[in-house]
Amino acid sequence: MSSLSRRQLVLAATTAAVAAAAPRFVFAQATSPSAAAPFSVPPLTYPTTAFEPHIDAKTMEIHHDKHHQAYVTNLNNFAKDNPQIAEKPIVEVLGNLNNVSESIRTGVRNNLGGHANHTMFWQIMGPNGGKPDGEVLAAIERDLGGIEKFQTDFNAAGGRVFGSGWVFVTVTNDGKLAIETRPNQDNPIMDGKRALLGNDVWEHAYYLTYQNRRPDYLKAWWNTVNWTAVGERYAAAKAGTLGV
């Protein structure tokens, strides 16, 4: 073997070692759906550091890359023998769980619910999210008593969730809002409703920074809400086109 070849091998081995040690870029986690893997994690549209100090980067990375990915991996495994769960819109499957085979129904409820919840969660968060305005603000004032009362009541509802779950603002197709909670990874779609926004109160969403201080997390989370995205979801709900 020539000295040039040996140098090339050493360089290749060094490059591989550096690549293996490098931190993984969160946006690479999601892949495009395929026939073999019809479900995928949507990529974040902001860096994992976007919400510090309110939500730390490590929590965002683990939450998106590990927890959400686990739901998607489970769904793709279910879909291998039950392709029908990927052939219909998510809202149709979650809205008609009794039509899902009993052998996988609980798994689909938990994992498709988790996929829907988290897909919404990443969408309604964003840096420099502004404040509610326009029709969303008018609906909050009309149905939830104004922004301060709404946030106080939402935080209180989230704090009362026993164990793991979510606190949502649900929206009807005529734009009426309500604060509701769900256990585990249940989603309002399962009750024929839609989530305008929601906050994850599973410990994996906040524990590295807040430990057992869920109320502190709930208050801080408002600094991460993208009100432009919420306004778009509100318009879609009224138009009858809001998905998950």
Task: Dump pLDDT digits (tens) for 17-69.
Answer: 333 333 332 222 233 456 679 999 999 999 999 999 999 999 999 999 999 99
Residue-level pLDDT at 35: 62
CB 204 within 8 A of CB 67: yes
Residue-level pLDDT at 66: 98
* Pick from 9-23, 36-50, 115-129, 160-174: least confident: 9-23
- The CATH superfamily assigned to 55-244 is Iron/manganese superoxide dismutase, C-terminal domain (3.55.40.20)
Residue partners of 176: CB distance under 8 A and separation at least 6: 139, 143
Partners of 199 in beta bridges: 167
Per-residue burial over 94-112, b = 16 or more CB atoms within 10 Å of its CB, e = otherwise: bbeeeebeeebeebbbbbb
Give the number of residues written for the chain. Answer: 244
Q: What angle do CA 126, 131, 133 make, to 5 degrees?
A: 120
The HSE-up count of residue 36 (CA atoms within 13 Å, CB side) is: 1
CB 119 within 8 A of CB 92: no
Q: What is the mean pLDDT of residues 92-120?
A: 97
Residue-level pLDDT at 28: 26
* Pick from 1-5, 27-31, 193-197, 198-202: least confident: 27-31
- 13: exposed, middle or buried (Cβ count in 10 Å: 0-12, 13-18, 19+): exposed
Could you tell me the pTM of the whole model?
Answer: 0.85
Write the DSSP symbol of residue 190: G
Chain centroid to CA 132: 20
Q: What distance in Å separates the CA atoms of residue 22 and residue 16, rounded to the nearest whole number?
A: 10
Q: What distance in Å separates the CA atoms of residue 205 and residue 64, rounded to the nearest whole number?
A: 10
Residue-level pLDDT at 128: 86
Average pLDDT in the chain = 89
